[in-house]
Structure 1
Amino acid sequence: MSNTKNPWPALEAVPGLAAVEAEWRAKFGDGYESVKGFLRPNGKLASSHPCTVQRGCGCEHDVVMHDPEDIVAVCRCGRGCETFPLKRSDIVVYELDRAALDGAIVETFKLIKDSDSRTDLHGTTRIGVYSPYAGFRFPVYLTIQLEPADLAGVVDALTGRVDIPFILLAPSRDLCTAQTEQLLANRSSAFIPLSENVGFTGNRKLRLLRPLEDILSPFRTANLPAPKDNGGMVFFPTPPDATWGDVSIRFKDGHTVSIKVKSAGGVFNYTQMGMANKKNGDPTVQWELLRTFSDEHGVLDWSSNKADRKNQKRREILATNLRDFFRIEGDPFRLTDDGKGWQALFLISPDE
């Protein structure tokens, strides 16, 4: 008979996430071969072993080592289950390799890996950061618990100390009560059970069971601005790893530019880029300065007929405008090599 099981819930049924191979096989069923790459010997030998006698007691047996070549498992429950021999390899304790599992989840969910994943919460690691766009970074935690109260305690601690929305992963939904999930929802945070979304493929690899966009859709809806035009600055979906060198701005006319940043792009006017005068709706002097940079192909110095001492302050405000729109850190301009002008770190060109 097939013993097909979803392997994830087994991680919430093994105290200490350490057991002999026979117990892991029983917990994982047919999924054992795809999961065993995430198990590693912890250097310890077990003092007990699951009963493997056909129609036996089903209880744990005490491991008795007469010598390295004479090891037996003795029934401890008094039901008369027979003693059976063991090899040394049968009592090697295997533990879940959390670092390997965390890393595989980071890769599968396309997260930014944290350099230090440790927390002071039992069974809980901060495995990475979900950053769908530049300027948006949400911590992602993995917790493996044994009881609903333990999971509730972790959620209570995280919601009390993490002041931004976060994503909490767990092996299954079994321990997450409605109250716990509501507590997360109240903080615009998400609970994602791995058993419903991720499968094991072997060789320390995982695969998504449905598109990542679908898995994270409720979290994204709650925490990301929707693209809209309300007469002010619009949301530009800057890729999270973009730098100023990835930005390309080309003027189409005096009021409109075409923008490309890696895979993101579009056509925007000065109002949508946050450079409209609040009093009359006309372009600000920063927009005009941006156009001057385009006319000068990205370099503005005293040789330009648009040079002006007021440009220093205008450039500083323009830099702020561009950072607000693209959400890329750092100054988008640098001094020219001779120190007598400014050069854009992004590609900018005039209308053709």
Structure 2
Amino acid sequence: MRPTDQYATHIPKLGSDYVWHRVVEDSPHVYIAIDEDQGRRVEVQTCEMAIYRFDFGRLTECLAAHFGFDVRFERMHNDPACQIGVDSPLAGVSFPVFLQCYRISDAVLFATDRSDGPFILIQWGDEPIDDRTQRRLERHNGLLLTLDQFASLDKRGELVFADSATSQLNAFREKHLPNTDAANPNIGFATPAGCIWSDVSIRFVDQHSVRISVHDQTGIYLYSQMGLVDARNRQPTKQWELLANFAKGYGLMTWNSPAACRKNKKRREVLSATLRAFFRIAGDPIELTEDKKGWRCVFRIEPES
């Protein structure tokens, strides 16, 4: 809890949760609690009437330190949940982390509406979840962690966590992380039948992943999923680097481009073959420009925004 600069106008009677005393300022910085029934006046300290507000930021920092996610605190007044961070266990992969603020059914709806894929939702208490909300949570691959079940306060008032939630989170990550085995990458986009290269759109999300759209099929893919991973060190290949440079030129590369070099000729051939295998589209995805002095992507490609 964090104290505010406001003071309460009433305080509870000692030993009672239902009887409240009115507080008045008797003189500058001197406050009196009035017992109307007994006709008594008792001086009270400002610490007894200070108004506290829950420190969402502090809770977020503690959760982030325990689970290892990045803090991205975004809260709007009256939202049923708020995003408090992003869990990124692997480059190019991220799961938004939400914290329940109001009813759990509304919090689940809020999280699913703002997530493109799997997400993590931290629930305050043990409010029961109805069948409809549970089905929605499962359909959107959401992980629900109940704060009361894995967090408590120690003797110093510090927040401590049990290992049970970490085990759940690790299982969630393992289930939803893509296959990054360099020897057997998960290659293959669900390209609709009859598509050509001009139907393909690629936009870089970050240095390790791209968002791909082909008609109504869309998804975020790591370099490893596209077969552009070095089997020796699991790092992106030179072909992935070339694809990123094409994105910086919005699909065009000439001898005036910063990344132009003679080695790109072979790299382009390998990149084209890899893209054909990934999308299962015939033809050359990267062709010579009309003046034969550069290359242009037949598909649309954009850099990270």
Q: TM-score, normalised by structure 2?
A: 0.55
Verify the 8 A CA contact 1:119 1:126 in the aligned structure 2.
no
Verify the 8 A CA contact 1:64 1:74 in the aligned structure 2.
no
CA distance in 1, matches of 2:151, 2:164: 10
Which aligned pairs between 1:115-154 and structure 2 lie closer than 5 A?
A: 117-119=74-76, 121-122=78-79, 124-145=81-102, 150-154=103-107
Alignment-derived partner of residue 45 in structure 1: 7
Alignment-derived partner of residue 169 in structure 1: 122
Alignment-derived partner of residue 19 in structure 2: 59
Q: Which has the higher contact order (CA 8 A, sep 6+)?
A: 1
CA distance in 2, matches of 1:60, 1:224: 54
- Secondary structure in structure 2 of the residue aligned to 1:152: helix
Change over 3 Å in CA distance of 1:206–1:309 after alignment to 2: closer
Q: Does 1:209 align with 2:162?
A: yes
Alignment-derived partner of residue 135 in structure 2: 182
> Of 21, 33, 38, which residue of structure 2 is paired with 1:72?
33
Q: Does 1:193 align with 2:139?
A: no
Deviation at 1:170, TM superposition (A): 2.3
CA distance in 1, matches of 2:263, 2:59: 58
Q: Does 1:259 align with 2:219?
A: no
Deviation at 1:49, TM superposition (A): 1.3
Deviation at 1:125, TM superposition (A): 2.5
- Secondary structure in structure 1 of the residue aligned to 2:90: coil
Verify the 8 A CA contact 2:32 2:41 in the aligned structure 1.
no
CA distance in 1, matches of 2:96, 2:264: 44
Gaps of 5+ in 1: 1-38, 236-240, 244-255, 262-272, 276-285, 287-306, 322-352
- Segment of structure 1 superposing worse, 178-187 or 204-213: 204-213
Instruction: Report the residue type matching 1:157 in the other structure.
Output: F
- Secondary structure in structure 2 of the residue aligned to 1:58: coil
CA distance in 1, matches of 2:42, 2:165: 48
CA distance in 2, matches of 1:194, 1:57: 26
Over aligned residue pairs, what C-alpha RMSD do you find? 4.3
- Segment of structure 1 superposing worse, 61-70 or 86-95: 61-70
- Secondary structure in structure 2 of the residue aligned to 1:216: helix
Following TM superposition, the consecutive aligned residue runs of length 4 or more in structure 1 with deviations greater than 6 angstroms are 80-83, 226-229, 318-321
Change over 3 Å in CA distance of 1:162–1:57 after alignment to 2: closer
CA distance in 1, matches of 2:39, 2:84: 45
- Secondary structure in structure 2 of the residue aligned to 1:172: coil
Alignment-derived partner of residue 113 in structure 1: 71
Instruction: Report the residue type matching 1:131 in the other structure.
Output: S
- Segment of structure 1 superposing worse, 169-178 or 220-229: 220-229
Instruction: Report the residue type matching 1:43 in the other structure.
Output: D
Deviation at 1:110, TM superposition (A): 0.3
Give % identity. 21
Gaps of 5+ in 2: 188-205, 209-229, 240-261, 277-305
Change over 3 Å in CA distance of 1:112–1:320 after alignment to 2: farther
Deviations 1:201-256 (A, max 9, x none): 58896433015541214533552346889x95259xxxxx998xxxxxxxxxxxx9
- Secondary structure in structure 1 of the residue aligned to 2:269: helix
Verify the 8 A CA contact 1:123 1:144 in the aligned structure 2.
yes
Instruction: Report the residue type matching 1:137 in the other structure.
Output: S
Verify the 8 A CA contact 2:23 2:33 in the aligned structure 1.
yes
Q: TM-score, normalised by structure 1?
A: 0.49
Instruction: Report the residue type matching 1:61 in the other structure.
Output: H
Verify the 8 A CA contact 2:24 2:33 in the aligned structure 1.
yes
CA distance in 1, matches of 2:126, 2:207: 36
Instruction: Report the residue type matching 1:223 in the other structure.
Output: H
Verify the 8 A CA contact 1:44 1:93 in the aligned structure 2.
yes
Verify the 8 A CA contact 1:49 1:73 in the aligned structure 2.
no
